[in-house]
């Protein structure tokens, strides 16, 4: 496994892969990896000759400096996991390498897809996501890039960006991976206490109850939202930020829940922000 820390060396290696006619897959991450990330690596290894991973905690997408400071990091552990998983290349840049010019003058915005859900509560977050993802796609020129569906809004925004800018990379959305207790895998989960962890599992429990209620005939998003909110906040350490029922393609709120609806949740447990979602029409 080759570890590269600067753009020039990365470009040279990418050019070598291209000369060899290798197909390449990219898994962008912010590190502190878990089995959800490794599932993306495995999908890339199945689909591509070469699997590449980036590890970069992108300061542009943090609207809260304290959240950036507390974001977990363990590069040695991450590299060990990636080598064990059979990754071919890891890009490990610093902020100075990614942004040698300082704060970018270019601003990327997509208000139709980011004015709701996480974008409503994290102003500027998706501007930073769009910038860094486009930059990584430019640097790597991968045939495919793999993103998890836990960040459902992020996936939708990146797919639209790639479509509108004619980015030749195929954006692949991959299934959300859960812990045994149902909690969506996240690098932030490490910050929860044992008690907090138990309370956080109420998020997925609420989503399952919403789906069961839908299958029993309930279609009113207001009624389903109230059910989910009450379930999550039965955990005294939980505070709901939002629960929204949106169309899976447009991310716009729906007046009637149907199979194309996604229910998306953000909640704080012990001050740790957690997100989750469920596709109502998913029969798995």
Catalytic residue among 37, 125, 144, 159: 37
7 is in an annotated binding site: no
Percent helix, strand and coil across the chain, each to the nearest 5: 45, 20, 35
18 is in an annotated binding site: no
Based on the residue annotation, tell me whether 37 is a catalytic residue of this protein: yes
Token pair for 24: 């390449």
Token pair for 46: 């199945």
199 is in an annotated binding site: no
How many angstroms separate the CA atoms of 220 and 174, rounded? 29
Alpha helices in 103-216 (DSSP H): 111-114, 118-121, 125-140, 152-164, 194-200, 202-215
User: Nearest to residue 241, comparing CAs of 41, 24, 96, 64?
Assistant: 64
161 is in an annotated binding site: no
177 is in an annotated binding site: yes
61 is in an annotated binding site: yes
212 is in an annotated binding site: no
125 is in an annotated binding site: no
5 is in an annotated binding site: no
28: Cβ contacts below 8 Å, ≥ 6 apart: 53, 54, 56, 132, 133, 136, 145, 147
The residues carrying an active-site annotation are 37
Annotated binding-site ranges for beta-alanine: 61
Annotated binding-site ranges for (R)-pantoate: 61, 154
Annotated binding-site ranges for ATP: 30-37, 148-151, 177, 185-188
Annotated binding-site ranges: 30-37, 61, 148-151, 154, 177, 185-188
């Amino acid at each position: 496994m080759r570890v590269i820390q600067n753009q020039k060396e990365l470009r040279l290696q990418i050019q070598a892969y291209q000369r060899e006619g290798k197909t390449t897959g990219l898994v962008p991450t912010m590190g502190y990896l878990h089995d959800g990330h490794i599932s993306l690596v495995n999908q890339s290894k199945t689909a591509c000759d070469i699997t590449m991973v980036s590890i970069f905690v992108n300061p542009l997408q943090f609207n809260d400096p304290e959240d950036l400071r507390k974001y977990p990091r363990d590069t040695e552990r991450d590299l060990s996991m990636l080598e064990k998983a059979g990754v071919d290349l890891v890009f490990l840049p610093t902020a100075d390498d990614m942004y040698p010019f300082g704060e970018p003058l270019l601003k990327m915005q997509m208000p139709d897809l980011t004015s709701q859900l996480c974008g409503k509560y994290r102003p500027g977050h998706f501007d930073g996501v769009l910038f860094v993802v486009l930059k990584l796609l430019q640097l790597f020129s991968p045939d495919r890039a793999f993103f998890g569906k836990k960040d459902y809004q992020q996936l939708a925004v990146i797919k639209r960006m790639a479509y509108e800018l004619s980015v030749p990379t195929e954006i692949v959305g991959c299934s959300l991976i859960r812990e045994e207790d149902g909690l969506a895998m996240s690098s932030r989960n490490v910050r929860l206490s044992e008690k907090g962890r138990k309370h956080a599992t109420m998020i997925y429990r609420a989503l399952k109850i919403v789906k069961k209620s839908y299958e029993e005939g309930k279609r009113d998003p207001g009624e389903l939202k109230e059910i989910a909110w009450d379930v999550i906040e039965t955990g005294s350490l939980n505070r709901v930020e939002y629960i929204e029922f949106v169309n899976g393609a447009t991310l716009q709120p729906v007046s009637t829940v149907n199979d194309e609806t996604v229910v998306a949740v953000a909640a704080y447990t012990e001050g740790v922000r957690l997100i989750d979602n469920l596709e109502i029409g998913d029969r798995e």
